[in-house]
Structure 1
Amino acid sequence: MQKFFFIGFFIFTLLAGTMSLNTSHAGNNLNDLQKANIIFDWLEPQFPELLKPAPQETQENSGIIFRYYSATNVYIATFQNHLFFIDHQVNLHDLGEVDFWLNYIREGEHEPDPGETWTDPVTGIEFVWVPEGCYDMGCGDWTDSCWDNEKPVHEVCLDGFWMGKYEVTQGQWTGVMGSNPSYFKSGNNYPVEQVSWNDVQDFISKLNSEGNSTFRLPTEAEWEYAARSGGRAEKYAGGDDLDSLGWYWSNSGSRTHEVGTKAPNGLGIYDMSGNVLEWVSDWYSDNYYSVSPRDNPQGPETGSSRVIRGGSWIFDAWDCRAAIRPYVTPGFRDFSLGFRLALSPGQQ
């Protein structure tokens, strides 16, 4: 009886006074019940004296998702993208938007430490936290002679993000897509290659549909910032000694190699110089560096080619510099071309 009284009272209260609530949802793949359960599960250990004992199962009625705690006669509930607490006197307390709570829970109270890692539970893909910061993007005096499209050097400031610790492997690709397109079918821990930008978008779309995370390609600015260990003045991804950092023409034996077998850069990220080239999200433009915004640049709005970064096993050392920015059409495939994933904060 009490349960039905609560539901009726809750609906009446919402209809009477809260129908103007913001009903927008964050861009993720969780349904309302999954969102509520994440928040409820997180709240219980935060308030063990109030939200006890073990409640009844999460229930849903007329769009209201709730748990009832019989020992204290209280409820926690979600409705119209808001979180509510209902005390023992049936007073309704609006605690804010569901998506705010989800982001708070996912990010934690503090930003991750630089180089901190997170592993996707669905695929096992590992990510490294790249902290926010500003850096001089392009080909500067810390490297050799430059192509024109690597100039001018310009300041870029980025929000923190998660970057794949390794290039996506053949095993990870096959686990999602069901087949392996690679030319060098050497093993599950070798980088996947012969994938176009369009193929990668299909992989990301399918991967995002299978879990709770929102994966993407890094932007060109994010890629270079992560490669240079958080924007340091580095010629290659991690320093000036390419033989220790990456697989390129002089040491590769004319093939790809298992990911993570050379030294990492200063953030603990591997193979950003050499092994395989890596797709980024940006369209390509010759003069983009002259017009790029300072904060979180996303690349040109349109184009005919996409940027690829990092050099590969078939490139000479100069073409594996962190600043180099080749470009190819989105449908292009090659046995030296792969990718790594990125995540915005709160999307893991």
Structure 2
Amino acid sequence: MTNVLKDVALFIAFIIFVSAALAKEQPKVWKDHHLHMEFVWIPGGCFQMSCIKGDKECYFDEKPSHEVCLKGFWMIRHEVTVKDWQRFAKETHYTPKEKDLWGGCEDIAKPTYPQKENHPVVCVSWKDARAFIQWLSKKTGFKFAWGDQISANMANFWSGTGGIAQKDKWRYTSPIKSFSPTPLGLYDMGGNVWEWCQGWYSAFYYKVSPRESPQGPERNKENETEIKFKVIRGGCWSDQPKRLRCSQRAFLDSHQAFGSVGFRLVREE
């Protein structure tokens, strides 16, 4: 099961024509019969990875622009829900080895604000998400990992299909599928909750990133002081649009849990 974490590529963005092409036909879908999660097939391809040219909100860690090529994979339509997490916690009697609860969290998977079963689970750390992934991988026989993908045609802020509501009827998280999906049929690729990513964060990784399926920076004893955070992407319910940009990256300690951070899954072919 260790390969679940180290062998899955750190997917970050996709070329625009992939979404445009698949929008004209029905996407290929796979359904997990244990949790009834639906996954959409994302074809591989190459793209220029960086912030959009002329973007005034671009941060230095979103540069330089460089070509990245990825293999195809399956991605869940929406973020992992409260109901999904409750099933996992009940079956495994999950208790984290450590709790580091921050803003908006009363306990693991229990925010200080109200949620229903169809809301994205929050207040889970990177390590909590890893435990969920390992459980689901063992249960289904497939390899899963975090969904690190986001692109201009997938984030609601840019796609024009769903939009980022400034005055919707939810003060905090919203139920999954509340807004229009991307052309590929994916929901909340921008907004609702930040999503944990598999890879470590390095502000300068784009300068040395390989072209083929980059895994993110490696962490070792020599650089553990610099590389000590995990990437989060996508923005959340409390963010301004600039935080929902497709190239925006943020980072947290892997043991921290916030009321604005959840996760999404991908599955290897």
Tell me, in whole angstroms, the C-alpha distance in 2 between the residues paired with 1:322 and 1:216. Answer: 20
Q: Which moved more, 1:142-151 or 1:292-301?
A: 142-151
Give the aligned partner of residue 336 of structure 1: 260
Q: Contact 1:246–1:272 at 8 Å: present in 2 too? A: no
Where 1:199 maps in the other structure, the secondary structure is helix
CA shift in 2, pair 1:324/1:246, >3 Å = same
- Residue 298 in 1 paired to residue 215 in 2? yes
Give the aligned partner of residue 325 of structure 1: 249
**Which amino acid in 1 is paired with 2:261?**
L
Post-superposition Cα deviations, 1:176-221, rounded to whole Å, max 9, x if no partner, equal 1128713144211100001100000111112222222221113x4x
Give the aligned partner of residue 197 of structure 1: 126
Higher relative contact order (CA 8 A, sep 6+): 2
CA shift in 2, pair 1:262/1:161, >3 Å = same
Tell me, in whole angstroms, the C-alpha distance in 1 between the residues paired with 2:64 and 2:43. Answer: 24
Give the aligned partner of residue 239 of structure 1: 158
CA deviation after TM superposition for structure 1 residue 152, in Å? 1.1
In proportion to residue count, which structure has more helix? 1
Q: Contact 1:217–1:341 at 8 Å: present in 2 too? A: yes
CA deviation after TM superposition for structure 1 residue 278, in Å? 0.2
Give the aligned partner of residue 83 of structure 2: 171
Alignment of 1:52-201 (within 5 A): 115-141=27-53, 143-178=55-90, 181-183=109-111, 184-201=113-130
Post-superposition Cα deviations, 1:57-103, rounded to whole Å, max 9, x if no partner, equal xxxxxxxxxxxxxxxxxxxxxxxxxxxxxxxxxxxxxxxxxxxxxxx
TM-score of the two chains, using structure 1 as the length reference = 0.60
Q: Contact 2:157–2:241 at 8 Å: present in 1 too? A: no
**Which amino acid in 2 is paired with 1:181?**
A
Instruction: Give identity over the alignment, percent.
Output: 35
CA deviation after TM superposition for structure 1 residue 252, in Å? 6.3
State the Cα RMSD in Å. 2.3
Provide structure 2 residue ranges, at least 5 long, that are not aligned to the other structure. 5-24, 95-107, 220-226
**Which amino acid in 1 is paired with 2:158?**
G
**Which amino acid in 2 is paired with 1:239?**
W
Tell me, in whole angstroms, the C-alpha distance in 2 between the residues paired with 1:142 and 1:194. Answer: 35
Q: Contact 1:138–1:150 at 8 Å: present in 2 too? A: yes
Tell me, in whole angstroms, the C-alpha distance in 1 between the residues paired with 2:137 and 2:194. Answer: 23
Provide structure 1 residue ranges, at least 5 long, that are not aligned to the other structure. 1-26, 29-112
Q: Contact 1:246–1:275 at 8 Å: present in 2 too? A: no
Q: Contact 1:246–1:271 at 8 Å: present in 2 too? A: no
Tell me, in whole angstroms, the C-alpha distance in 2 between the residues paired with 1:252 and 1:328. Answer: 29
TM-score of the two chains, using structure 2 as the length reference = 0.76
Alignment length, in residue pairs?
223
- Residue 206 in 1 paired to residue 135 in 2? yes
Give the aligned partner of residue 173 of structure 2: 256
Which has the greater radius of gyration?
1
2:195 pairs, out of 269, 274, 278, with: 278
CA deviation after TM superposition for structure 1 residue 114, in Å? 7.4
Q: Contact 1:245–1:265 at 8 Å: present in 2 too? A: no
Post-superposition Cα deviations, 1:209-236, rounded to whole Å, max 9, x if no partner, equal 2222221113x4xx13xx444xxxx7x4
Q: Contact 1:263–1:270 at 8 Å: present in 2 too? A: yes
Tell me, in whole angstroms, the C-alpha distance in 2 between the residues paired with 1:142 and 1:237. Answer: 19
CA deviation after TM superposition for structure 1 residue 241, in Å? 3.9
Detail structure 1 runs of 4+ shifted over 6 Å in the superposition. Answer: none
CA shift in 2, pair 1:287/1:114, >3 Å = farther
CA deviation after TM superposition for structure 1 residue 115, in Å? 2.7
CA deviation after TM superposition for structure 1 residue 138, in Å? 1.4
Tell me, in whole angstroms, the C-alpha distance in 2 between the residues paired with 1:267 and 1:280. Answer: 20
Q: Contact 1:208–1:215 at 8 Å: present in 2 too? A: yes
Where 2:135 maps in the other structure, the secondary structure is helix
**Which amino acid in 2 is paired with 1:254?**
R
Tell me, in whole angstroms, the C-alpha distance in 2 between the residues paired with 1:269 and 1:321. Answer: 16
CA deviation after TM superposition for structure 1 residue 144, in Å? 4.0
Where 1:156 maps in the other structure, the secondary structure is strand
Q: Contact 1:274–1:312 at 8 Å: present in 2 too? A: yes
CA shift in 2, pair 1:144/1:268, >3 Å = farther
